[in-house]
Amino acid sequence: MIAFMGYSLIIVFMMLIMMKKTSPFAGLAFLPVIWAVVGQLVGLWEFDIGQAALDGLMTTAKTGIMLFFAIYMFSLMIDAGLFDPLSNLMIRYAKGDPLKVMLATVALSAGVSLNGDGTTTMIIVCTAFIPIYKHLNMKMLDLAVLTMTSHSIINLLPWGGPTARAIAVMGVNESEVMRGLVPMMVVALIYMFVVAYMMGRKERQRLGVIKLSSQELDSIMEITDPEVLEIRRPQNVWINALIALTAIGLLVWGGIPSAIIFMIGTVLTLLINYPSVKEQKARIDGNAAEANQVVMTVFAAGVFMGILQASGMSDAIAHSLLNIIPASWSHFYGLIVACLSVPGTYFLNNDAFYYGVMPVLAEAGVTSGFTPLQLTFASLMGQAFHLLSPLVPFVYVLLGMTDVEMGPWQKKAGLISIGIFLMYVIVGAVLGLMPIYLS
């Protein structure tokens, strides 16, 4: 009966999210309290609901604080124009060669994706490259495919979203996760450059190389929006880049708490680029919506997990899963989780999968001998396909700007994403991050 209560909680939460009847924050914070009270009334369990919720919240607080300042720091970097030189450099490098254009598309998508925000990445990359693709008569489908698949790799950074959720749920160290993700991401990016090179060769054979004049390149790179120009700080690009690279380097090193790294980075970015109090308030207010929403959801996830654990629902579901999975398969549980994360993160949004499903899978995985860190890596491998889901909002930003249909885009990007997934699994297995077989 306890397992049934757990399953029903997860299913109702996921359905409400998918049907857009509630926000992730409201569902995560409110639904488990209802289930806990009902279970208490019928005598299924007895525990301090408020204390369980608070204990769970405290387990995700560290991740929430880190995410809060990371989003602010990179949002401020975008406001100041940190990625403008990279965008312009890629445009000048590509010129009129379709092969170079495709390589530059991957490079710019990966670079801009460091900000962790998909919508911003789609807008920046498409704004930079749509004029070139049109001028050279290249396929907009290729632009849409390369942009999203490249972004899916860098989106694994802890402030990108899914990794922060996985860290919060699994209670693992950010630095350990980061050190493991870096080689996976590097190999996947190399794969993407190979894919772009092969696609580019075909386009070069089809279209040839067209030389663009300096005037044409300048018109493509020009910023005309007065509001954007007002907050740009091109004179500070090098010091902003130094702050961003230092923050990432310190995060990988792990000697300083990640929340402190991004807090100091946010303060420095504000003081250097927007020294007046009025400017600082405007930039903080301008970037508050996304940061606040994400952090509130992470905190609410702690309440969800705290009650799920204290009530025994988590353990009950884990044992039921173990009974379903043949004993002979338990050695492959990490790979099973990796494979389940593909449909899990495609058909569900990240909140539903990591906060609703992953705690249950983790309980069963630990029982099978896998560590929380190994299961964290396994759960993230399905992100190779997540951004192809129609449930991802900024998909429609990309498809709208490129005027591409979802069907052909999903088909072509899906084939490339299979390769990304395989890169993750192979690197994870070779480095012992996610063993395919646990003896």
Among 427, 395, 421, 413, which residue's Cα sits nearest to residue 341? 421
Please, which pLDDT band fits residue 439 given cuts at 50, 70 and 90? low
**Residue at 144 is within a domain:** yes
The token pair at 177 is 């996760």
Is a pLDDT exceeding 80 seen at residue 315? no
Domain limits at 269?
1-431
DSSP letter string, 319-336: HHHHHHS-GGGGGGHHHH
Question: DSSP code of 113?
Answer: G
Is a pLDDT exceeding 80 seen at residue 352? no
Q: Do the Cβ atoms of 308 and 32 come closer than 8 Å? A: yes
Q: Please report, for residues 33, 85, 112, 145, 435, the alpha-carbon distance to residue 91 in angstroms, rounded to integers and kept in the order given.
A: 53, 10, 14, 18, 41
Q: Domain count of the chain?
A: 1
Contacting residues for 101 by C-beta, under 8 A, at least 6 apart: 94, 129, 132, 133, 136, 138, 200, 203
Please, which pLDDT band fits residue 316 given cuts at 50, 70 and 90? confident
The token pair at 378 is 């396994």
> What SS3 class is residue 362?
helix
Q: Do the Cβ atoms of 128 and 104 come closer than 8 Å? A: no
Task: For residues 428 and 294, give the distance between their C-alpha atoms in angstroms, rounded to a whole number.
Answer: 28
Q: What are the tens digits of pLDDT across the range 396-424?
A: 878 888 988 888 999 999 999 999 999 99
Is a pLDDT exceeding 70 seen at residue 322? no
Task: For residues 431 and 361, give the distance between their C-alpha atoms in angstroms, rounded to a whole number.
Answer: 22
What pLDDT was estimated at residue 257?
85
Q: Do the Cβ atoms of 225 and 150 come closer than 8 Å? A: no
**Residue at 438 is within a domain:** no
What pLDDT was estimated at residue 114?
80
Backbone angles phi, psi at 191, to 5 degrees: -60, -40
Question: Which residue type, as a one-letter code, is found at position 176?
Answer: E
Q: If you search the block for the tokens 């990591």, which residue do you land on? A: 354
**Residue at 408 is within a domain:** yes
| Rounded percentage of the chain residues whose pLDDT exceeds 70 | 97
Q: What's the burial of 302, exposed, middle or buried (CB within 10 Å: 0-12/13-18/19+)? A: buried
- Rounded to the nearest 10 degrees, the angle between the axes of helix 118-135 and helix 394-402 is 10
Please, which pLDDT band fits residue 379 given cuts at 50, 70 and 90? very high
**Residue at 381 is within a domain:** yes
**Residue at 54 is within a domain:** yes
Is a pLDDT exceeding 80 seen at residue 430? yes
301: number of Cβ within 10 Å: 29
**Residue at 437 is within a domain:** no
Lowest mean pLDDT among 139-153, 207-221, 365-379: 207-221
What pLDDT was estimated at residue 244?
86
Task: For residues 203 and 150, give the distance between their C-alpha atoms in angstroms, rounded to a whole number.
Answer: 19
What pLDDT was estimated at residue 407?
87
Backbone angles phi, psi at 224, to 5 degrees: -110, -15
What pLDDT was estimated at residue 188?
97
Task: For residues 388 and 60, give the distance between their C-alpha atoms in angstroms, rounded to a whole number.
Answer: 28
What pLDDT was estimated at residue 260?
92
Lowest mean pLDDT among 49-53, 119-123, 173-177, 245-249: 119-123
**Residue at 353 is within a domain:** yes
**Residue at 104 is within a domain:** yes
- Return the sign of the alpha-carbon dihedral for residues 72, 75, 81, 87: positive
Is a pLDDT exceeding 90 seen at residue 139? yes
Among 126, 140, 131, which residue's Cα sits nearest to residue 96? 131
* Mean residue pLDDT across the chain: 86
What pLDDT was estimated at residue 148?
96
Q: What are the tens digits of pLDDT across the range 156-208?
A: 988 777 898 899 888 888 888 989 999 999 999 999 999 999 999 999 999 88
Torsional class of 405: left (φ above 0), alpha (ψ -120 to 50), beta (otherwise): beta
What average pLDDT does this structure show over 136-163? Answer: 91
User: Which comes out higher in pLDDT, residue 81 or 324?
Assistant: 81
